[in-house]
Amino acid sequence: MNTIHDLGGMHGFGAIAPERDESPFHETWEGRAGGILEVMTFPPGFTVDRFRYLRETLRPDLYLVQSYYEQWLYIAEQVLLEAGMISAEELARGKASPQSTKRNDSMRADAVWDFLHDRAHSGRPLAQAPRFTSGQRVRARNMQPAGHTRLPRYARGRSGMIVSHHGGHVLPDASAHGKGDAPQHLYTVRFAARELWGAAAHPRDSVHLDLWESYLEPA
């Protein structure tokens, strides 16, 4: 989506000031929010790509002022509302309706460790051969999708070089919208900094992006 969530290459947000010895969580509730999102009961078929897309539906003004874990709570709310697992009225009250059916499918404590350390891999077999090869010059398509994509705006229409091929992987643009895995060949593409940012960029700098085949065309 072409929204404030795609910040790459934008100016005016001030300097990044990393904290020395920064704590993983700034408030106790942040740790609880992170834990809840990791092990909560998601609807069948929910994917990490849908998770990322829902974050992109957050209003731009709220995205700029909410903390990371506030945004995670927003995602949790949207997931549960979409699936009909809670109602808007229950969310507003912060309590389950007396008429709601009590669920009993929460993750049990003895299952948490395996869940957190056994993530599903996005690799998928593909019958068709890759369209591009290492060393080939390619151009990122100048596409403006209304839904989720992993092709950042600053790279669209820019030329780079394939530096590696990773085989077939789930296409986020499809997975985020319930259209299945739709796997495609995935490549790492090197873009010279001056190709992306202009002559003021350092001539030795570059950016490497992992891009799916439909994002690319021959240069």
Domains of the chain and CATH, by start: 28-116 (1.10.472.20), 137-218 (2.30.30.50)
**Can you give the pLDDT at residue 104?**
85
**Can you give the pLDDT at residue 197?**
94
Average pLDDT over residues 191-206: 96
pLDDT tens figures, 117-156: 877 789 999 999 999 999 999 999 999 999 999 999 999 9
> 101, exposed or middle or buried, with CB in 10 Å at 0-12, 13-18, 19+?
exposed
Mean pLDDT of the chain: 93
**Can you give the pLDDT at residue 117?**
83
CB atoms within 10 A of CB 95: 10
pLDDT band at 102 (very low <50, low <70, confident <90, very high): confident
pLDDT tens figures, 68-84: 999 999 999 999 999 99
Instruction: Please give the single-letter amino acid code of residue 106.
Output: S
Portion of the chain with pLDDT greater than 90, in percent: 74
CA separation for the pair 194, 61 (Å, rounded): 31
90 touches 96 (CB < 8 A)? yes
183 touches 126 (CB < 8 A)? yes
152 touches 209 (CB < 8 A)? yes
Residue 93: enclosing H or E segment and its boundaries?
A: helix 88-93
pLDDT: which is higher, 49 or 16:
49
Residue 31: enclosing H or E segment and its boundaries?
A: helix 28-39
CA separation for the pair 189, 195 (Å, rounded): 13
Query: Could you give the C-alpha distances from 139 to 25, 135, 142, 149, 152, in angstroms and in order?
Result: 40, 13, 9, 16, 13
Q: What angle do CA 57, 61, 62 make, to 5 degrees?
A: 65
For the chain, give the longest Cα–Cα distance: 65
CA separation for the pair 152, 197 (Å, rounded): 13
Average pLDDT over residues 187-209: 97
**109 secondary structure, DSSP code:** G
Q: Is the pLDDT of residue 10 over 90?
A: no
Portion of the chain with pLDDT greater than 70, in percent: 100
